[in-house]
Amino acid sequence: MAATTSSNDRFNTDAATWDGNPTVQRATALAHKAYLAHLEADTDATALATSDVLEIGCGTGLLSLALAPAVASLVAVDPAKGMIAALNAKLESQPSTTNVRTVCATLHGADDPRLQAAVAAGTGVNNGGEKGRRRFDLVVSHLVLHHVPDLDELLAVMFACLRTGGRVLLTDFEDFGPAARSFHPEAKMDGVARHGLKRTEMAALLAWVGFEDVRVETAFSVDKHVETQPGSGDVGPLVKFPFLLCSGRKP
């Protein structure tokens, strides 16, 4: 699909400078904190220390490496070769992190052999049950869904990747109206499928693919400089962008 391809092209280039973007760093730190707070409050969820985690759209692994010390295993998936290469380089330079595996792919199913191979090579403790297929306790994804044209398809894949009782935690900026478009400068609209997430749409889609205990709530906000005028390329005022945390449980 054209939108996905161009998105990947952009992220292959962006990978080299991604970690130097303070907005990206701040948003990741806030998402990490929001995930931990959510899971701490969810007393029925599998303890993080014994959780096998799947991250969709991991980029250079900022969130992956923040989560890794607290979980049993983490498989980090991204279709952009540049992003996965950046994460692989980090993993090579910190050999003490042994519980992260990477997959360069756009997943269209839970039984994708590349995903299954990564799980089989990993350190997970809870998988290997249901008819030999490997499933996860937790699926996370941060700042990715606004790049995905077919949200219903991806949410269904996430659902299929979970074990019974598994959780999904998704963060991205909210489509709070026309001003949400300014999250991206006009020169970076390539691969942007939507200007943030709509609360009611996310709740309906998560329920539609089968999740229960669906919640969509404002988790934090990120101040970001926008362009003075759309397309000017000039740094303009700081705008507060609310981020939604969308969650659900596989029954």
Ligand X SMILES: C[S@@+](CC[C@H](N)C(=O)[O-])C[C@H]1O[C@@H](n2cnc3c(N)ncnc32)[C@H](O)[C@@H]1O
User: Given candidates 32, 38, 101, 142, which one binds ligand X under the rule CB under 6 A?
Assistant: 142
x-or-dash pattern for ligand X, window 90-119, by CB under 6 A?
----------------x-------------
Side by side, the strands of the sheet bearing 52-56 are 100-104, 73-78, 52-56, 136-142, 162-173, 235-249, 212-227
Nearer to ligand X, 190 or 212 (CB): 190
**Contact (CB, 8 A) for 114 and 122:** no
Helix, coil or strand: residue 221: strand
Other beta carbons within 10 angstroms of residue 82's beta carbon come to: 20
Can residue 143 be called a binding residue for ligand X (CB under 6 A)? yes
Per CB under 6 A, the segment of 5-13, 39-47, 108-116, 219-227 that binds ligand X is 5-13
Per CB under 6 A, the segment of 40-48, 72-80, 181-189, 212-220 that binds ligand X is 72-80
Measuring CA to CA, how many Å separate 217 from each of 79, 144, 167, 198?
A: 28, 17, 16, 11
Residues of span 146-165 touching ligand X by CB under 6 A: 147-148, 154
Task: Report the alpha-carbon distance of residue 183 to residue 177 in Å, rounded.
Answer: 11
Binding region for ligand X (CB under 6 A): 4, 7-8, 11, 24, 28, 56-59, 62-63, 78-80, 83, 106, 142-144, 147-148, 154
